Amino acid sequence: MSAHKKKPVPLAVGRSTAQESSSHGSIQISDDSQSVTLSLVSGASAKVLLYGATVVSWKIQERELLWLSEASALDGSKAVRGGIPLVFPVFGPPPAGTAVEKLAQHGFARTSKWNLLGRVEEETEGDKGVRVDFGLSSDSLDDETKAKWPYEFGLIYSVTLRESTLETKMVVQNPGSAAFEFNVLFHTYLRIPDVSTIGVQGLNSLTYRDKTLGGTEHQESSDVIKIASQTDRVYKSAPDAITVLEDDKPLYTVTKTGLNDVVLWNPYSDGAEKIGDWEPKEGYKNMVCVEAGSVADWQTLEQESTWEGGVTHKAHL
């Protein structure tokens, strides 16, 4: 069956509360107009803040599938610690001598207020879902950020909730007269029962940059990667599907499209102690970041061109 899509339906963000419902599910804007909740008739749900367009909750059968720090700021005062923060246009500390060198770590997408563009009903091979689109452009940035990164751009970020998956997609547009370079990353914090019982499969034989060892490069030799210490690796040219196993059974599958790399991160005990908004400190036992993106090298977007990439997170419950 071919994919069936309806045209975007604008959401009534001018009211203090807005709700759009259909046979697929519903989209509800919070009373303070600062978040959107997607719900399906099956009971699956997702919550997205307009600040950073950050997904802060994804539930199936009332089970929370994303890890969120109990000390994370959710009021727009700083980047959210947990959920799915968006990294653009730079990953990590900006390198000196580059066009992004004046920006904060991980760029401005995760700390900007996004616009709510509308909702869409989708059905693919009988799998019904609801989607919300968010937008951010150079016109949305404050003067200070524009001065640090003076390129014309447009971002469209889509979050689609289905019965067993959460899909996130980014479209980057360059309407300007000059090309620009960028990194992009979906910084997904997956909730897990216990870090000692999980493994990550699909990265064997790949070259990775180990940020805990000064950024040196190594070759992965494990079919199933176990996390027993602080882990911060960028796997280059990764396959499209990565699986998180619990006791050798699939727990999550992370499938990427149009993205080159995968970052595997867990701060472990020593790293969590140094992160001020990480609570509880033992929370590292219940999360693993499997982050799809294009960050090992810069992506170049020519004038009047468009780039897109996305991630599908599937839970095996």
Residue ranges per structural domain of the chain = 4-315
Which amino acid appears at position 138 of this protein? Answer: S
pLDDT of residue 6: 41
Gap between the Cα atoms of 30 and 224, Å rounded: 41
pLDDT given for residue 166 in this prediction: 98
What's the mean pLDDT in 298-308? 97
Kindly state the average pLDDT of the residues 192-204: 98
Q: Is residue 106 predicted with pLDDT exceeding 80? A: yes
Per-residue pLDDT band for 128 (boundaries 50, 70, 90) equals confident
pLDDT class of 180 with cuts at 50, 70, 90: very high
Out of 187, 218, 273, 302, which one is annotated catalytic?
Answer: 187
Q: What is the rounded CA–CA span in Å between residue 52 and residue 42?
A: 27
Cα–Cα distance, 252 to 165 (Å, whole number): 10
Instruction: Say if residue 2's pLDDT is above 90.
Output: no
Q: Among 9-13, 158-162, 218-222, 250-254, where is mean pLDDT lowest?
A: 9-13
How would residue 126 be classed by pLDDT, with cut points 50, 70 and 90? Answer: confident
Rounded to whole angstroms, the Cα distance separating 20 from 119 reads: 9
Q: What are 65-76's pLDDT values in tens digits?
A: 999 999 999 999
Give the confidence band of 142 by pLDDT, cuts at 50, 70, 90. very high
Residue closest to 141 by CA, chosen among 159, 132, 133, 153:
153
**Which amino acid is residue 306, in one-letter code?**
T
Q: Report the candidate in 192, 184, 198 with the shortest Cα–Cα distance to residue 153.
A: 184
What is the band of 18 on the pLDDT scale with cuts at 50, 70, 90? low
Query: May I ask the CATH class of domain 4-315?
Result: mainly beta
Which amino acid appears at position 291 of this protein? Answer: E
DSSP code for 6: P
20 is catalytic: no
> Catalytic annotation on 152?
no
Beta strands 249-257; 241-246: pairing state: antiparallel
Confidence (pLDDT) at 124:
73
Structure tokens at 133: 């689109």
Q: What is the rounded average pLDDT of the residues 53-74?
A: 97
Buried b (16+ CB within 10 A) or exposed e, 6-41: eeeeebeeeeeebebeeebbbbbbeeebebbbbbbe
**What's the pLDDT score for residue 122?**
75
User: Strand locations in 71-150, DSSP E?
Assistant: 86-87, 115-124, 127-137
Q: What is the pLDDT of residue 19?
A: 66
Instruction: Name the strand (E) or helix (H) holding 269.
Output: helix 268-273
Average pLDDT rounded to a whole number, residues 24-52: 94
Q: What pLDDT sits at residue 97?
A: 94
Non-local CB neighbours of 100 within 8 Å, separated by 6+ positions: 89, 90, 94, 107, 148, 149, 181, 182
The enclosing H or E element of 38 equals strand 35-40
* pLDDT of amino acid 21: 63
Of 25 and 250, the one with more pLDDT: 250
- How big is the CA angle at 275 (ends 69 and 259), to the nearest 5 degrees? 70
Cβ neighbours for 312, distance < 8 A, ≥ 6 positions apart: 165, 166, 167, 253, 254, 255, 256, 257
Confidence at 123, pLDDT banded by 50, 70, 90: confident
Q: What single DSSP character describes residue 70?
A: T
In the chain, % of residues over pLDDT 90: 89
The rounded distance, in Å, linking the Cα atoms of 23 and 121 is 9
Cα angle vertex 120, ends 116, 121, to 5°?
A: 150
Residues 310, 298: Cα–Cα separation, whole Å: 17
Catalytic residue of the set 20, 122, 167, 291? 291
Taking the whole predicted model, whether its pTM rises above 0.75 is answered as yes
For the segment 5-30, the average pLDDT, to the nearest whole number, is: 60
Which residues sit opposite 148 in a β-bridge?
none
Task: Supply the pLDDT for residue 22.
Answer: 63
Q: Residue 316 pLDDT > 50, yes or no?
A: yes
